[in-house]
Amino acid sequence: MYQATIIITLRTSILDVQGKAVEHGIHSLGMTTVSNVRIGKQVQLEIDAHSDEDAARITDEACRKILANSVMEDYSYTVAKV
């Protein structure tokens, strides 16, 4: 069994409106030294695979086909045997 941890982030060229809203909230609470807030997704999943390569291949396929929007988002992942 393998555990994959995927991080999906909005491309830096795209305005992160959710991040801007959170930044505004943080400033409202007095933490004015915080800037450039960007919000992404973390996906954890388990894969019943025979090898590291097999688990990585399935993780990449899931990212490309359903998890990430390749037009607006970048993704990275790590796969570990558990």
> Interface with a second copy by CB under 8 A: which residues?
7, 9, 19, 22-23, 25-26, 29, 31, 33-49, 58, 61-62, 65-67
Nearest approach, Cβ of residue 25 and a second copy (Å): 5
How near is the Cβ of 14 to a second copy at its closest, in Å? 14
Q: For residue 39, what are the CA distances in angstroms to 54, 56, 70, 78?
A: 30, 24, 16, 19
Nearer Cβ to a second copy, position 46 or 52?
A: 46
- DSSP 8-class letter at 78: E
Q: How far is the CB of 36 from a second copy (least distance, A)?
A: 4
Rounded to a whole number, what is the distance in angstroms from the first to the last CA of the chain? 6
Segment (H or E) for 57: helix 52-62
